[in-house]
Structure 1
Amino acid sequence: MNSRIPTRQVPAPGAGADAVRPLREFAMAFTSSPRGARLARRLVSHRLDTWGHPYGGRANDALTLITAELTANAVRHGHVPGRDFHVRLAHGTDALRIEVSDTRTERVPVPCDREPPGDAESGRGLLVVAELATRWAVAPREGAPGKTVWAELALA
């Protein structure tokens, strides 16, 4: 990766919340654990395949990796004991959108355009999301405490 990758974050909270008008939608709550994150990733990949974005295709691979990063962050940084995280996948005419919501409000990801030092074991997940997504952002969670991190992938 480059040492400076611009984030494609939309600064206004909730901006683009209706950018993907869903033709199809999948939503589910998952246990806030590594197993829940793995299941979310697999179900998103499977749903994309059934919607015509096959395994190994650009859209499926990119959105599955984005989902893996966002759900891992929800488990690692957004975990509140006894609370699940939620995933919503929307398929619009021009884009796919993934939303991962957790109940932790005080740990909002900070956009960064620099890689962590070469020996750091973490800190690159949102750089991956920024590189793969057309746009992404963090917004307050609607209807519940917490935050939602979302990413969109334009369909070419």
Structure 2
Amino acid sequence: MKSATPPQRHTAQQPALAREFAMQFTSTPRGARLARRLTSHRLHDWGLPYASPTNEMVTLITAELAANAVTHGHVPGRDFHLHLTFSEAEKVIRVEVTDTRSERLPAPNAPGTDAESDPGLLLIAALANDWGVTPRPAAPGKTVWTEFLLPHRR
């Protein structure tokens, strides 16, 4: 007897997944808290448990970026945007927080800039493998992004 569905063939190597999460939040302390909590939940869903160092570190950085967006990037009536990506193939987690103010662009590792005087940016620089700021191309504002390389699991 033949089966109506062909048997699944298992390849030697499954393609690695790229996972994504994006959401808009109110530019308030409550919105920043929600961004932090949803980041932790999403990472847990992606296989990085709540109590793992990676989940805690990425959640901490997301909290700092969201708080900065609310504190320094707030424009009345405008929200901030969070975008997370997790590339399992490259073992990289990228966090991007976009706000609508562009007059204060922190410069990574530049002497005499906000990066030296803002303890949050010092924290980001210490914990992230890379970070930077890019202006929004189509509207006023900026995106502050960070990248984290995951340790190799054995």
Please indicate the TM-score interval, normalised by the length of the shorter structure.
Answer: 0.7 to 0.9
Of 71, 76, 82, the residue aligned with 1:76 is 71
Q: Which runs of 5+ in 2 are unaligned?
A: 1-16, 112-116
TM-score (normalised: structure 2): 0.78
**In 1, Cα distance between equivalents of 2:35 and 2:102:** 21
Quick check: 1:104 aligned with 2:101?
A: yes
3-state SS of 2:70 partner: helix
Moved over 3 A (4+): 110-114
Q: Which residue of 1 aligns with 2:62?
A: 67
Query: Which residue is 2:35 aligned to?
Result: 40
Count of aligned positions: 129
Cα distance in 2 for residues equivalent to 1:112 and 1:96: 21
Q: Look up the equivalent residue of 1:100 and give its one-letter code.
A: V
Determine helix, strand or coil for the equivalent of 1:25: strand
> What's the CA shift for 1:108?
1.0
Q: Give 2:146's match in structure 1, choosing from 139, 145, 151.
A: 151
Name the SS of the counterpart of 1:65 in structure 2: helix
Q: Percent of aligned pairs with the same residue?
A: 62
Q: TM-score, normalised by structure 1?
A: 0.77
Larger-Rg structure: 2
Measured against aligned partners, the alpha-carbon deviations of 1:127-150 in whole angstroms (never above 9, x if no partner) come to: 111111010000012433210000
The runs of 5 or more residues in structure 1 that have no matched partner are: 1-21, 115-121
What is the alpha-carbon root mean square deviation over aligned residues?
Answer: 1.9
Who is 2:5 aligned against?
Answer: none
Deviations 1:63-112 (A, max 9, x none): 00000110000000000000000000001122000000001010112435
Kindly indicate whether structure 1 or structure 2 has the higher relative contact order, using CA contacts under 8 Å at least 6 residues apart: 1
**Which has the larger displacement, 79-88 or 140-149?**
140-149
**Match 1:135 to one of 122, 130, 139:** 130
Residues 107/132 of structure 1: CA separation in 2 closer, same or farther (3 Å cut) = same
User: Residue type matched to 1:73 in 2?
Assistant: N
Cα distance between partner residues in 1 of 2:147 and 2:107? 18
Q: Retained in 1: the 8 A contact 2:107–2:132?
A: no
